[in-house]
Amino acid sequence: MIRHYKPFVPYLFLIPAGIVLLVFFFIPFFESFLLSFQSYRHNIYSPEWVGLANYVELFSSPVFYKTMINTFIYLVVAVPVLVVLPLIIAIFVNQKLRGVSIYRTLIYIPVIVSIVVAGIAWKWLYASNGILNYIISLLNLPAIGWLTDPNVALYSVIVVTVWKGIGYYMVIYMAALTAVPRDLYEAADIDGANEVHKHIAVTIPYLKPTIALVSIISSISAMKVFVEIYVMTNGGPMNASKTIVYYIYQRAFENLELGYASAAGVVLLIIVMILSIINMKFFEGDKTAQIV
């Protein structure tokens, strides 16, 4: 009798994860999808069905396009740095160097620091009379409006995101580096390859799946950045640092336009899914490196 049910046993282990996904992803998603066709502007307790009106208004809003451009800039600037720089650091701290554990700890510390605390600390650094402008004044250079200049504010916040994420992605790369066979490096040494060539020929091809993972995770994180914006700039100045997730929060919880915000959330989900598929297709291939 038990033998007949044995093929179904593995699926029982999927039930807890399935329940979590159902409760915290699928149900909220379908609720948001339905909300995107409704309006709460006249009565917060009794929404009215408006069809595609929220989507029409969304794609007619200059602020929406501004937030999408800001989010795209965030994606293009932050993600390459968070993919490449942690890999370089992971390769460095994976060597047998004196005191390397100290370097690993120092690099990872920002990960365990609360993003709210980090945002407040960096806001002090970026202040008009903060440490950064003080150092600039010692060089007889004009002060920079790190969070008040529309041309600089977004990039100042990106620096905080990169600073916070380097240690996290470094650990992911370090875990993957332990699986790279040492004999491949030895073969590269015999062929006369230097350190740079060894990592190009061996490390990077072997870590291709991990690079894809880091790329997807960092892209999703960049698309849904919120706390840094909320703590440091509130989307200002003049919407210069307002991203799509902050825009959704503002329209939903400050303006109580839940239907409009849900429409923006659906659009964001579609964009994130497309980016994830592109990343997976780009990095698709053999999971084992081949040295020719």
Joined together, the tokens standing for residue 108 give: 């990872």
For residues 251 and 205, give the distance between their C-alpha atoms in angstroms, rounded to a whole number.
Answer: 44
In a domain, 147, yes or no: yes
Q: Which of 132, 164, 161 has the alpha carbon at shortest distance from 146?
A: 132
Grade residue 157 by pLDDT with cuts at 50, 70 and 90: very high
Q: How many domains are contained in the chain?
A: 1
The pLDDT assigned to 121 comes to: 93
């916070």: which residue's tokens? Answer: 164
91 located within any domain: yes
Mean pLDDT within 12-38: 89
- Closest of 154, 198, 171 to residue 291, by C-alpha: 198
What pLDDT does residue 3 have? 63
Range of the domain at 100: 62-282
Per-residue pLDDT tens for 27-51? 988 988 999 999 887 777 788 899 8
Separation between Cα atoms, residue 278 and residue 100, nearest integer Å? 36
Does residue 33 lie within any of the structural domains? no
Domain assignment of residue 14, yes or no: no
CATH code for position 203: 1.10.3720.10
pLDDT, the chain, mean: 87
Among 52-56, 148-152, 240-244, 271-275, the range scoring the smallest mean pLDDT is: 271-275
At 284 the pLDDT is 61
- In a domain, residue 17? The reply is no
For residues 88-117, give the mean pLDDT: 86
pLDDT average, residue stretch 18-27: 90
Residue 161 above 70 pLDDT? yes
* pLDDT tens, residue by residue, 254-291: 888 889 999 999 999 898 888 878 877 776 654 443 43
pLDDT at 182: 80
Q: Scanning the structure block, which residue is given the tokens 């709210």?
A: 116
More confident residue, 122 or 43: 122
Separation of alpha carbons 166 and 185, rounded Å: 26
Q: Which residues pair with 38 in a beta bridge?
A: 49
Burial 172-210 (b: 16+ CB within 10 A, else e): bbbebbeebeeebbeebeeeebeeeebbebbbebbbbeb
Percent residues over pLDDT 70 in the chain: 95
Which residues fall within 8 angstroms of residue 143, CB to CB, at 6 or more apart? 128, 133, 136, 137
pLDDT tens track for 167-225: 999 999 998 888 888 887 778 777 777 777 887 888 888 888 899 889 889 988 888 89
Question: Is residue 116 domain-resident?
Answer: yes
Domain contains 275: yes
> Is 70 exceeded by the pLDDT of residue 10?
yes
Residue 20 pLDDT > 80: yes
pTM: 0.84
Residue 2: predicted pLDDT: 55
Residue 182 in any domain: the answer is yes
Report the pLDDT value the prediction gives residue 123, as an integer from 0 to 100.
93
pLDDT exceeds 50 at position 230:
yes
